[in-house]
Amino acid sequence: MKPKVIKNETEYQATLERINELMDAEPGTEAFDELELLAILADNYENEAHPIELPDPIAAIRFRMDQAGLKQKDLVPLIGSRSKVSEVLSGKRTLSLAMMRNLHRELGIPAEVLLQEPGAKITSPLEGVEWERFPMKELLGRNWIAGFKGSLSEAKEKAEEILSVWASPLGEGALEPALLRQHVRAGGTADGYALTAWKIRVSLLALEQELPRYKPGTVTRDFVRDLVRLSYLDNGPLLAQEYLHKNGIHFVVEPHLPHTHLDGAAIRLPDGSPLVALTLRHDRLDNFWFTLCHELAHVALHFDDQESIVFFDDLDQQQVDALETDADHWAVETLIPAEAWNAAGLCRDPKPARVRAFAAVHRISPVIPAGRVRRETGNYRLFGSYIAQQKVRYLWKIS
């Protein structure tokens, strides 16, 4: 029999018969060499065609309990409570990652048995992350976590493994709470875990967008001024999205999560491309265009020489650092150059007709100079009814 890779049961049985014929072969002979080779080929086929199933995790736990003389109450420190121990051992509750770590560490049950995956290892917990603080109710309510069918209590208990799988396309560090590692313009009020969940959501949406490769240095004042001219059109915000996409800049609109007070963010994705994400928290066109320009200012000023960075912005916050001040000034100057603004003197005589004429000359939406007059004068009653009518959420079908 000529040794060859075994491809089916007939060849496997023939190989076993030949192995049986060679069992008495002496070491150092050709027959013995053939026996060794056939044994390897048969073993490879068995592993592929008839893999040995891993023991059931619950059976493995009960086996170790019998070996160590443990009672159910002895598992409480490892699983969490008497009721959880009972539910796990009866098959009514699946093991969480935290439970698996404890059982692996304290009872020596192999990780591959607990995970039901040959060769698998249990990852170490992320330092400093309090999984119970992630807003699982909101994430499930918004259908951000695809495929999970359990209850809210189950989601909270298994937050680590659910969120780890959800964020895995973004690589390491995606789940570190935003207030620990990111640049947050939100005073002391922002919930870092909610910010992190929102960042993961918009980043995953951005990864679904197939865009041309972004070229560093693309975002300049001239680039953004061309973008802002789209504001003159009724569907300007949607055209702005297309304009950014054609230049390799991801753009996503996603409402903010509770306790974040978030207007927008500038995020550098793992592949180096920039993402501008807006929440449309304030449903006004003037706010849309200023926030968009502010986030693009971060890209222009702070991205090209950074490996990874995230800016979260609550633009109602006045106490900001130098990076935010620079972005504010860049956005204001880009929307309307200081020379043109000072020459117009709209704050001294803020009549609607003058605002509309200024906008027409500069080919921008009137809401932009109107909004600036309101901010600089502090008089938010000016153009109030007009500004209030200029909505933007409807373009993205957000109520």
Which residues form the domain of 87?
57-115
Same domain, 387 and 245: yes
In a domain, 125, yes or no: no
CA distance 381 to 363: 25
CA distance 78 to 103: 6
Same domain, 302 and 325: yes
Does residue 257 contact residue 138 with C-beta atoms inside 8 Å? yes
Characterize 318-331 residue by residue with b for buried, 16 or more Cβ atoms within 10 angstroms of its Cβ, and e for exposed. eebeebbebbbebb
Check residue 27 and give its pLDDT. 85
- Find how far residue 388's CA is from the centre of its chain: 33
Check residue 65 and give its pLDDT. 92
Check residue 163 and give its pLDDT. 93
Which residue(s) pair with 268 in the sheet?
A: 274
Among the listed residues 133, 65, 126, the one whose alpha carbon sits nearest the alpha carbon of residue 79:
65
Tally: H helices and E strands in the chain: 20, 5
Check residue 128 and give its pLDDT. 79
Check residue 52 and give its pLDDT. 61
Same domain, 73 and 45: no
Number of domains in the chain: 4
Check residue 241 and give its pLDDT. 98
Same domain, 302 and 208: yes
In a domain, 1, yes or no: no
Query: pLDDT tens digits for 255-311?
Result: 999 999 899 999 999 888 999 999 999 999 999 999 999 999 999 999 876 666 899
CA distance 349 to 269: 45
Does residue 302 contact residue 323 with C-beta atoms inside 8 Å? yes
Check residue 50 and give its pLDDT. 65
Same domain, 317 and 389: yes
Which residue is associated with the tokens 């070229």? 215
Among the listed residues 234, 233, 219, 232, the one whose alpha carbon sits nearest the alpha carbon of residue 334:
219
Token pair of 387 as six digits: 């500004």
CA distance 310 to 302: 10
Q: For the chain, what's the residue count?
A: 399
Same domain, 35 and 168: no
Distance set, CA 115 to CA 86, 111, 112, 131, 398 (Å):
20, 6, 5, 20, 40
CA distance 215 to 98: 43
Which residue(s) pair with 264 in the sheet?
A: 278, 313
Same domain, 187 and 154: no
Which residue(s) pair with 277 in the sheet?
A: 252, 265
> Which residues fall within 8 angstroms of residue 206, CB to CB, at 6 or more apart?
250, 252, 267, 269, 273, 275, 277
Same domain, 283 and 226: yes
Check residue 335 and give its pLDDT. 96
Check residue 396 and give its pLDDT. 96
In a domain, 137, yes or no: yes
Q: Phi and psi dihedrals of 332, rounded to 5? A: -65, -45
Same domain, 246 and 388: yes
Per residue of the chain (399 residues), what is the pLDDT tens digit?
Answer: 677 888 888 888 888 888 888 888 888 888 888 888 888 888 887 777 766 677 889 999 999 999 999 999 999 999 989 999 999 999 888 888 889 999 999 999 988 888 888 888 887 777 778 899 999 999 999 999 988 888 898 899 899 989 998 999 998 778 888 766 578 887 667 899 999 999 999 999 999 999 999 999 999 999 999 999 999 999 999 999 999 999 999 999 999 999 998 999 999 998 889 999 999 999 999 999 999 999 999 999 998 766 668 999 999 887 678 889 999 999 999 999 999 999 999 999 999 999 999 999 999 999 999 999 999 999 999 999 899 899 999 999 998
Check residue 96 and give its pLDDT. 87
